[in-house]
Amino acid sequence: MLRGRLTGLRALQDSDIKVFETELLPDVETRVRATGRPWLPVAPGAPDSPYRQGVDPQTVVRFSVVELATGDLAGEAVVSGIDLHNRHAEIGLVLRPAFRGRHLGTDVVRVLCHYGFAVRGLHRLVISTLADNHAMIGAATQAGFVLEGTTRDTAWINGAFADGVLLSLLFPEWSAPA
């Protein structure tokens, strides 16, 4: 397990998948905003569940987020679009509803940075999110990410276009935990 101050990242387990399918897949608003894709109903245990689909570990690594103080499953985190030639990737996270607003996001971002920079040897990490996702933008900037710009009308969310933002952190800018 990769550990931060508040959270740890570990391999996705079957019991985690059941929780994510029960709590995160039916959360239409969060799912649409996180993926930028139309929400589709998926029954728990269905083979088309995004949690049950295989991924190429060379380009996508999924983690379960654990709150260290309680040992409880707090959410999911991902490093995707891993490009070993150009040494960059995108990171993201979604917390279960009961764990939102507890300031875990910044710690998760920092642990993902450790994984990307120290473990995978990447040079650049990016976060792409909606411009009104203040929690993610705050977590990213507290972890050292810099706002690169706004992508206008980048996502169709519940009947309207929404702006996005792109944030990045380069390896030389990263402050490794002591």
Cα–Cα dist 100/151, whole Å? 26
pLDDT tens-place values along the chain, 178 residues long: 999 999 999 999 999 999 998 888 888 888 888 877 788 888 888 888 888 877 888 899 999 999 999 999 999 999 999 999 999 999 999 999 999 999 999 999 999 999 999 999 999 999 999 999 999 999 999 999 999 999 999 999 888 999 999 999 999 999 877 6
119 phi and psi, to 5 degrees?
Answer: -85, -45
| 80 in Cβ contact with 89 (< 8 Å) | yes
Domains present along the chain, CATH in parentheses: 2-123 (3.40.630.30)
For the chain, the first-to-last Cα distance in angstroms comes to 17
